[in-house]
A and B are shown apart, each in its own frame.
Chain A
Amino acid sequence: MSKKWAKYFAIPLMVAMLIAGCSNGNKNDKASPSASAPASGTASVSPAPEGKPATWIADRKIKGLIFMGTDDYTEDMNPEIKAKIKEQTGIDYEIEIMKAEHSIDGLIAGLAAGDLPDFVAFYLNNSGRPEMPVVLKAAREGMFTDLTPFLKNTKIFSKYLQEDFLPLDTRYGVMFRPEFNGSSYFVHMNINRQAGYDTNKYVGGPYIRKDIAEALKIDPSTIKTSEQVYELAQKIKAGNFKDSNGKDVVPIGPGYWGANGREDWEMLFTDLMWGKQDQRINMTNDGQILHEAETEYAMKKVGFFQKMLKEKLISAEMFTMDESRTSEGAINGTWGIIANTHNYQDYNQDLHYLPLGPLDGIKGPYKMEVSFKSGYSAWAIPSTTKNPEDVVKFADYLASREGKMLWKYGLEGRDYTLGQDGNPVPKQEVIDLLANDPNEAKKLGFKGVNNSWGDILGGTDTDSMADFGEMEYGDKLKTDATRGQLAIDYWHYDDRRKEAVITDTYTPISFLGEFDRSTELKAALDNYNDSLIRSYYTKSTDEAKKILDSALKQLKAAGLDDYLKLITEKNKDPKTPIGFRVY
């Protein structure tokens, strides 16, 4: 009997294994890192066929699969703009956004499935982002085309091959990694043309309700330490302020966008933060690199948060509340202080919440830190794509001034006119439509009306002021205060910007991919983040210490010491300096 059952079970299983095993087995077999790339330096720019514009590339379709969110990018393109692209380049351009709860889940599934279109794009702020090990593995396994030979023959992307154009992390950590011997498999995007160029004037961090600050006769810019934040919170609580629903104000609430369970709200308690909250690693004055768990700051924070929680000065759900509730609290004025928001948000254009601080750090007074240049996303061409040079040429077209004008300002005549200086001037009716019916305006299909498809391949070498005479779409037409300007002035953004420290560094966790126990260490780092928040909610500091000691033990067991040694060595190499807190 048992034999019979074994037979019934085994046969379908074997068949299943064979069928599943065979799938994908022969894909990309021939692909080697440079399989479809021409020999270095041999790629040639073919002249446009007769009767075609100089921007002509080829009569073909280019389709991209985008592993980024629909909040940031748009796949519905305007037909007239598509037609214009076709007329200019011959390219029938189409993008599809892969929907996934986390963009990295979509990326992993997409790469594993192997059925990729002409190009893929994904988030990649820096080489420390979780996507990096995934795309690196794909590149090492021959899934992507070597782009270096094609980049050489472009107008815009050839700048990437110049010595000083790219930031260090993009150059050595993302694109031209030493292991690739000059080849590159991803193009890092959103690299500004000028070092330290601002695309926006963000005033981010904690904000306090203006009426509360006025009632308490407090100048928010004088709040510099966590102790002052504590005293301010006590005053807010004692003041019995109400929100728009008549309910008691919570002195300090979470950030506008909700909490993910690991958010420390570092800008509200900067003088208690050892490293930046996404990795918590910093260097001591004598050059020793330590994780927060190895310092006194962990317990300092525990003491501080326990005090705040006990006295009900911060929302008890500070670390776990979802965005629907945190934003509701911000809009209703439930939070006396919002732990994190910024000046471009709609609800605060009248500045009824004022920027608080900025707070000092562990090394002294606040200093603005600006990246030399920083990336945001990247794209790659699968090794299965035919004529990959067409995709690179097309990206180069979109990154040119002409291409950017199309995807940033739309169509001449329909959406803008050209001013005397040759720069586009948006039509007033488009500006009005954008203000009155943003959804309808978006259908016009360009970035100025929040339809973002062009920056996926073309958003780099950015210098809007030089290219179009304004930093943001329509700035020149604005008669009222520019969006976010009230906070920019209040916070003295421009003055602080002049004093800013410009850095060109790697994040301390950028080298996890090179570390042999990266999986264990990553899990232990996450565990520390959870343990820290858990310890805030314990009833005593002893209990909290026990939890944190256990988390530190796990970090050590997962190889923290060896990893810190690795980044100490990296920091000595001028090509791989690590970025630590500047204040």
Chain B
Amino acid sequence: MQQTTLPMKPVKQGSMLWRRVLQHRYLYFMLLPCIVFFIIFNYIPMGGLLLAFKEYKFNKGILGSPWVGFDYFKMFFNTYQSKELVRNTLIISGMKMFLYLPFPIILALMFNEIRNKWFKNVAQSILYLPHFISWVVVVGLMQRILAPDTGLLNQVITNMNGDGSTFFMMDPKYFYQIMFGSHVWKSIGWDSIIYMAAIAGVNPDMYEAAKMDGASKLREIWNITLPSITPTIVILFILSLGNILSAGFDQLYLLRTPGNMHLADILDTYVIRVGLREGQFGYATAIGMLQGVIGLILVITVNKISRKVSDTSLW
């Protein structure tokens, strides 16, 4: 029998890729809607960023409109409100990012320790519910509860022989408490889900070993649960930094009153009020772009730092 040896064909990297794609075609097919979604809703709109450098003309479209360079950015920083807007945005988003961070983690740890399944389910459902209520309804409820004289809180204060006429929504000294309290109430349940999932992934053997070593419940949480979910916490924190200049439009827009306007007016509300409502698309885009670019820089920087000081990073 004659033996024939076929010469080895050099395999191109590209064809290998296609072969792999073909091999896993069903998985790629399942991925397709997701890719299409991101292209349509996240990448194509990015083209509109060009508007930040153009004076938009209705009849010329984005490409045809004349260039104005960095005029809108200069215009924004020359506005007397810019400092106040940036300061308000940073304070509010800082509170939501840093101050709020432990709340859902603590809630997830608490849920994890509940042994009664029925109670756990009920408690979880109640705490998830606010996530599905729109800010319009939430702020409407707050207006009623916090109304001067007739509101629930003022009625309680009156019954305790206090002055029940405080107009909480108008008084700037209560603004941060109201803003932060409502944010926690609305978001804590939903945001705790991801930490619960991370906790569920912790190896139970570690708890058993700790128990055998005589560790208390608190010690278990401190030495096992928290270190195990740290990567999740770090990654979520890094991702949230991208929104440092977006402090939550819906909530702030609705919570604003003349009394707290100097604290509650943020970049997002300014973009709507001055940029879009007056048809200044370029100006609105420039401010929006500023928010995005600063967020991106922060994410990249913090990710780099995190990679250096720990093993956790986005990439």
Interface residues of A (CB under 8 A from B): 5, 12-13, 15-29, 31, 102, 104-105, 108, 111-112, 114, 130, 133-134, 137-138, 141-143, 261-262, 312, 316-317, 319-320, 322, 383, 519-520, 522-524, 526-527, 529-534, 537, 554, 557-558
Contacts and interface: CB of A to CB of B under 8 A. Distances in A.
Contact of B258 (A19, A520, A530): A530
Interface in B241-265: 256-259, 261-262
Contacts of B256: 261
Given A316-B167, A519-B280, A111 B60 contact: no
Contacts of B45: 16, 20
A390 B218 CA distance: 81
B43 interface: yes
A79 B280 CA distance: 41
A82 B58 CA distance: 33
19 contacts: A19-B47, A21-B62, A24-B61, A25-B60, A25-B61, A25-B63, A29-B64, A130-B278, A133-B278, A137-B279, A261-B257, A261-B258, A262-B258, A322-B143, A520-B80, A526-B273, A534-B172, A534-B261, A557-B80
B193 to A, nearest CB: 30
Given A20-B45, A523-B79, 10 more contacts: A12-B39, A13-B43, A21-B61, A23-B61, A28-B60, A111-B58, A114-B59, A134-B278, A320-B257, A526-B273
Contacts of B48: 20
B44 interface: yes
B307 to A, nearest CB: 12
B81 interface: yes
A302 B47 CA distance: 49
B43 A16 contact: yes
How many chain B residues sit at the interface, stated as a range, is 35 or more
B165 interface: yes
Interface string B204-240: 0000000000000000000000000000000000000
Contacts of B153: none
A225 to B, nearest CB: 26
B17 to A, nearest CB: 14
Contact of B58 (A21, A143, A523): A143
A223 B118 CA distance: 66
Contact of B281 (A112, A322, A537): A112
Contact of A104 (B56, B81, B170, B277): B277
Given A261-B258, A520-B79, A31 B59 contact: yes
A530 B261 contact: yes
Residue with the highest number of chain A CB atoms closer than 10 Å, among B46, B57, B58, B81 = B58
Given A28-B59, A112-B281, A317-B148, A19 B44 contact: yes
Nearest to B45: A20
A529 B277 contact: no
B170 A320 contact: yes
Contact of A319 (B147, B149, B258): B258
A317 B147 contact: yes
The 6 A-B residue pairs with the shortest CB-CB distance, nearest first, are A20-B47, A533-B258, A24-B61, A25-B61, A28-B59, A316-B148
A16 B46 CA distance: 7
A15 B43 contact: yes
Contacts of B75: 519
B145 interface: no
Nearest to B59: A28
- Dominant SS at the A interface? helix
Interface string B294-315: 0000000000000000000001
B106 interface: no
Contacts of B43: 12-13, 15-16
Nearest to B81: A523
Contacts of A524: 80
Interface in B160-182: 165, 167, 169-172
Interface string B5-24: 00000000000000000000
A138 B56 CA distance: 11
Residue with the highest number of chain A CB atoms closer than 10 Å, among B61, B261, B277, B315 = B61
Contacts of B47: 16-21
Given A13-B43, A105-B277, A537 B170 contact: yes
B277 A108 contact: yes
B150 to A, nearest CB: 9
Contacts of B148: 316-317
B60 A105 contact: no
A27 B60 CA distance: 7
A16 B62 contact: no
A20 to B, nearest CB: 3
Interface string B255-292: 01111011000000000011011111101000000000
B109 interface: no
Interface in B54-89: 56-64, 75, 79-81
B50 interface: yes
Contacts of B276: 105, 108
A519 B277 contact: no
Nearest to B169: A320
Contacts of A24: 61-62
A261 B254 CA distance: 11
B60 A29 contact: yes
Contacts of A261: 256-258
Contacts of B60: 25, 28-29, 141
A27 B61 contact: yes
A24 B65 CA distance: 11
A299 B262 CA distance: 20
Contacts of B58: 28, 111-112, 114, 137-138, 141, 143
A219 B62 CA distance: 63
B258 A531 contact: yes
Contacts of A23: 61-62
A527 B261 CA distance: 9
Contact of B279 (A5, A108, A527, A531): A108
A102 B278 CA distance: 12
A25 B64 contact: yes
Nearest to A104: B277
Contacts of A137: 58, 279
A25 B62 contact: yes
Nearest to B62: A21
Contacts of B262: 530, 534
Contacts of B44: 16, 19-20
A520 B8 CA distance: 73
Nearest to B261: A530
A320 B46 CA distance: 38
Nearest to B256: A261
B63 A519 contact: no
